[in-house]
Each structure stands twice: as C-alpha cells, then as structure tokens.
A = this chain, B = another copy of it.
C-alpha cells in the first residue's frame, strides 16, 4: 500500500507511492511538452467501449441520452486507474522514529466528463455542463458521509503544463483522511477574520469587488467571477456565490445551473484571451460533515465555498516556489479587462 507521511516542520502530509520510479522515468517528463496520452479515440482509455470499462463504475448520468455508437452516457465516475489513496482499510497512524505516517486511506476517482474524446464540456453547451457540475455535487455529497475522510477535493487539470493525465475530458475527485495543508490555511485564515470581524471574509470580498468593479469579469444572478486582489498567478480568477454557504453540495438546482453557466462562459473567455491555455480549477468547499462539527465551532459561518481557476501560463522561479512570494507580471485589474473583453 502507498503511505502518507507528515513533514514535521510544516505539518504537511504527502503521499509516497509504493512503486518508486527510477530516474530514467522522469527524463522524458521534463524534456517533452506533450501529454502522456495523446491517443486517438480508438486507443483512448476513457473512450466508450475501451479499457476504462474494466474499472469499477461508481456513478453515471445517463438520463435522456440518445444511444449511438456506445455513447449512451453523459458523465461517468470510475475508480482511479492507479489510485494514490484507497477506500479499504484502517488509518493506521503511527510513529517512525521522530516522524509520523499513516496508511493511504481515501478516495481517488476519475470523472469522465463526456463520452466525446475531443470535446470539452464547455463546448458541449449548458445542458452538458450542468451534468458535469451535478456529478461533482453527487460525489462530494456521498463521500462526506465516510467518517475516516476529512476533505473532498475536486479539480480539473487541462493541458500538459497543468498536470493533465489523459487527453479525454476528465476531472478528479480526491478525498483525504487529513485536511491538506493548503486548504487548512484557507480555513484558518477565514476563521481568524471571522473571529476579528464577525463576518465571512468571502462575503466581504464579494461586496468589495462589486463596489469597485475593477477586477470583475462577469456577474450572474447568483455568482460573481473576478480576478483576486493579490492572486498567485497571472490571469487567475475565482467564482464566488453571492449567497453565503460553506458547503458546495448544498447548492440549489437553480444555483447549480447558474454556476455551470458562469463557469462555462468564463472558461471560454479565458480560452479566447490566452489561446487555449493549460489550466487548473479547484473547488474549495468545507471539510466533510463529521469533522466539520468539531473543527468549526462557528458551524460554517466563517467559510464560503468557491472555485479557483488558474491558467498555468508562466513558469515560477525558485524564489516564488519556495517563499510563496509570487511575482505577478500582469496586474489583476488589467487581467480582468482582458478576460472581460474576450
């Protein structure tokens, strides 16, 4: 089994895979700029009728799907082909000398976003986009009931520089038995603000962004898309719901449609402005139900779910990677203008 280890200084957990890759493995990885799987429809693991069907199917949206050429589903969730975390087993926390480790318990699922190899959800139109986002809601709702799991993170990696693993449209679900460090910092930062101001920092940010307007890309009835005041990479933007709610899975059907629309439209704008760049998006939601009750004495008043979208267009220096002091080569207000106008 893979194992999880904790860095004793930063209290950051990492996963160590049981089968180590030798140095030779990495050499192509940093000398080539193409995706590992640039296969055609016929060879693609994730295409209908192909190899992925041998893996455990966890969830499928099929309603009103016109069957043709095996494309009889809209979205499908399977267990990850080489899972980093596995659902069976005990946490098994233990010490090793001065260090700490545990078993790699968790969930690691692959969301196949459509049966079509070459078409991203945003190009299939709003009704398909809604099915993708509904799939996200279903997975988070289901995984939060496992008391061993502390956090469920959904993310999409598009393009080689963003860590893409398959060319076929897909996103990932990773549920971890610890709250990952980067997420915990955001929760702690929001909690500190709440304790001082007695208001949600994200609600304040929505108000401030709408007041000045300089960084807003797009608004809908329920959502605002904007470039943050101090982002970590150029052209990064966030989508925040106007209604305060810590948990993404509590989104209403109307909000879900609206969220699908603003995400689809802004991804198209980003694609137009930056010529189809590699990007990541990550859904930031509250920790899972059971631990939330302990961790959050304010019961969700101090956090606000949102999505962060980060084009991976600029290589970071050693200074930035190590110190987290980022150098933004495009001003957030200018980035918002470019995206808004695209």
**A residues with CB within 8 A of B:** 5-18, 20-23, 25-27, 29-33, 84, 96-99, 153, 155-157, 160-163, 165, 172, 174, 176, 178, 180-183, 185-186, 189-190, 193, 201, 204-205, 208, 211-212, 228-232, 234-235, 273-275, 277-278, 280-282, 308, 310, 312-332, 334-335, 338
Q: Which residue from chain B places its CB closest to the CB of A282 in the assembled complex?
A: B322
Given known A186-B9, A229-B5, A274-B27, contact A16–B282 (CB-CB < 8 A) = no
Q: How far is the CA of A125 from the CA of B219 in the complex (A)?
A: 60
Q: A155 and B322: CB pair below 8 A?
A: yes
Q: What are the residues of chain B within 8 A of A9 when measuring CB–CB? A: 186, 189-190, 193, 201
Chain B residue contacts of A185, Cβ below 8 A = 10
Contact partners of A274 in chain B: CB under 8 A: 23, 26-27
Bound Cα distance from A84 to B326, whole angstroms: 11
Complex interface: chain B residues within 8 A of A96 (CB):
229
A324 touches B99 (CB 8 A): no
B321 in contact with A180 (CB, 8 Å) = no
In the bound complex, residues from chain B placing their C-beta under 8 Å from that of A312 are: 30
Check if A176 sits within 8 Å of B234, measured CB to CB.
no
The residue on B at minimum CB distance from A342 is B23
Say yes or no: A99-B14 contact (C-beta < 8 A), given A318-B282, A322-B182: no
Bound CA span A329–B201, Å: 37
10 cross-chain CB contacts under 8 A: A9-B190, A10-B185, A13-B325, A14-B326, A163-B316, A163-B318, A172-B317, A174-B325, A176-B323, A310-B321
> 7 closest pairs, A vs B, by CB?
A280-B318, A180-B323, A163-B317, A180-B325, A182-B324, A5-B230, A26-B313
Tell me, in angstroms, the Cα distance from A99 to B174 when the chains sit together: 33
Inter-chain contact B315/A11, CB cutoff 8 Å: no
Q: For chain A, what secondary structure do more than half of its interface residues adopt (helix, strand, loop), or is it mixed? A: mixed
The residue of chain B having its C-beta at the shortest distance from the C-beta of A308 within the complex is B322
* Smallest beta-carbon distance A331→chain B, Å: 5
Q: A153–B321 Cα gap in the complex (Å)?
A: 12
Contact of A31 among B33, B99, B193 (CB under 8 A): B33
Residues of B within 8 A of A29 (CB): 313-315
CA of A180 to CA of B325 in the docked complex: distance in angstroms?
A: 6
Q: Is the CB of A20 within 8 A of B275?
A: no
Interface centre among A12, A18, A23, A204 (most CB of B within 10 A): A23
Verify B16–A328 contact, CB threshold 8 A. yes
Name the residue on B nearest A26 (C-beta).
B313
Give chain B residues whose Cβ lies under 8 Å from the Cβ of A338.
22-23
The smallest beta-carbon distance between A157 and chain B, in angstroms, is: 5
* A277 vs B28: C-alpha distance when bound (angstroms): 11
Tell me which residues across on chain B come within 8 A of A162, comparing CB atoms: 315, 317-318
- Pairwise interchain contact B327-A84, C-beta atoms closer than 8 A: yes
For the complex, give the distance between the alpha carbons of A21 and B314 in Å: 11
Are A156 and B332 in touch, CB under 8 angstroms? no
Q: Are B27 and A275 in contact (CB under 8 A)?
A: yes
A30-B313, A275-B23 as given contacts; A332 in contact with B16, CB under 8 Å: yes
